[in-house]
């Protein structure tokens, strides 16, 4: 994978009509994939070494970012999803790598503004079901 511009990582939300729309102008962003191991160590484990159960990890993805909303409609859409406590389908487009898509829950939405600047936000999403990956 060639070096990519950070600004090309996109975050899109299902608008409720089946179309994915870019909702935010992220200035900083991150996606993390995790697999929480299942520990099955017991009194007779060889040498008292920890044993893990293969194929049983609890997988999750977390997305975070900060920036400015693309427009008022995008801000309203994200805010409504948060206030409805809805699980919606999101797409995370990682340039020259692929698209991660699936249900996410908005875990955090913060707004802030400096006296001489624009209103910005911090957004955190947590996966809420199975995700798919499509290579680009």
Phi, psi angle pair for 127, to nearest 5°: -60, 145
C-alpha atoms less than 13 angstroms from C-alpha of 5 in its C-beta half-sphere: 5
pTM metric for this prediction: 0.82
From CA 124, how far away is CA 131, in angstroms rounded?
17
If DSSP codes are grouped into helix, strand and coil, which group holds residue 76? Answer: helix
Token pair in block for residue 111: 């707004």
Enumerate the β-bridge partners of residue 24: 69
Q: Where do the domains of the chain lie? A: 6-34+61-135
pLDDT digits (tens, 9 = 90+) for 8-51: 678 899 988 889 988 876 777 788 999 999 999 999 999 999 99
Name the architecture of domain 6-34+61-135: Roll (2.30)
């Amino acid at each position: 994978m060639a070096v990519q511009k950070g600004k090309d990582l996109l975050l899109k939300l299902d608008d409720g009509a089946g179309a994915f729309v870019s909702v935010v102008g992220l200035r900083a962003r991150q996606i993390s994939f995790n697999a929480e191991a299942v520990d099955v160590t017991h009194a007779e484990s060889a040498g008292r070494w920890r044993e893990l159960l293969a194929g049983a990890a609890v997988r999750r993805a977390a997305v975070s970012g900060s920036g400015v909303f693309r427009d008022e409609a995008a801000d309203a859409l994200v805010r409504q999803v948060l206030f409805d406590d809805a699980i919606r389908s999101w797409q995370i487009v990682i340039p020259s790598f692929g698209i991660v898509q699936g249900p996410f829950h908005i875990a955090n939405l913060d707004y802030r503004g400096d006296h001489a600047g624009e209103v910005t936000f911090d957004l955190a999403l947590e996966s809420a079901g199975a995700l798919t990956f499509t290579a680009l």
